[in-house]
Amino acid sequence: MSAKPYGPLVQNGWVVKDIDAAIKYWTETWAVGPFFKFPKIVWETGFYRGKDMIPDYDAAVAYNGEFMVELIKPNGPSIFQEALDSGNVGVQHMCAMTDDLAAATAYIEKRGGVAIQGGTFADGSALTYFDMGGRGDSHILEIAQLLEGPQQLFAAIKAAAASWDGKTPVMTL
């Protein structure tokens, strides 16, 4: 078997109804934080279920050690809205990073994964979400190919978590 062209799982993505309530829960109950809310996420290109479309959602992230928690509140058609509409609030996907999204896509599709949402950003970074053939429950894998800018952003968020005071639930960079 050949080595897979992406790294270990580094994130769980949670679909939530209220991002601020979710941040409060994660910081107060799980002691995970601080969270960083993203401004409007601007995609260059996007697709959803085979159609050109850019998903609209709000997101916030925090680290717990090496693991990232992403909170996603959908604002329209997307795999995130599908989860919310079906009552599946909670973990919606897992994420791994790659340096070669095309190779990762070929590898995943050879194993039955189907690309269901994704796109690119102005800096050339790209994401694809794959349905991994679940048995009626959610089995979605996100593969992210992030260039230097986003990598530096996530490194700064991880560093903030390492020195977090446990009191400030949301911070900005």
Residue 103, pLDDT score: 97
Could you give the 3-state DSSP secondary structure of residue 121? coil
Count the neighbouring beta carbons within 10 Å of the beta carbon of residue 61: 20
Measured between alpha carbons, how far is residue 98 from residues 41, 102, 107, 132, 153 in Å?
21, 9, 12, 17, 17
Residue 40, pLDDT score: 85
- Kindly tell me if the per-residue pLDDT of 65 is higher than 80: yes
Q: What is the pTM assigned to this prediction?
A: 0.93
Residue 70 structure tokens: 């992403």
Residue 1, pLDDT score: 44
Q: Which pLDDT tens digit goes with each residue over 112-122?
A: 999 999 999 99
Q: Which pLDDT tens digit goes with each residue over 9-34?
A: 999 999 999 999 999 999 999 999 99
**Mean per-residue pLDDT, 27-48:** 94
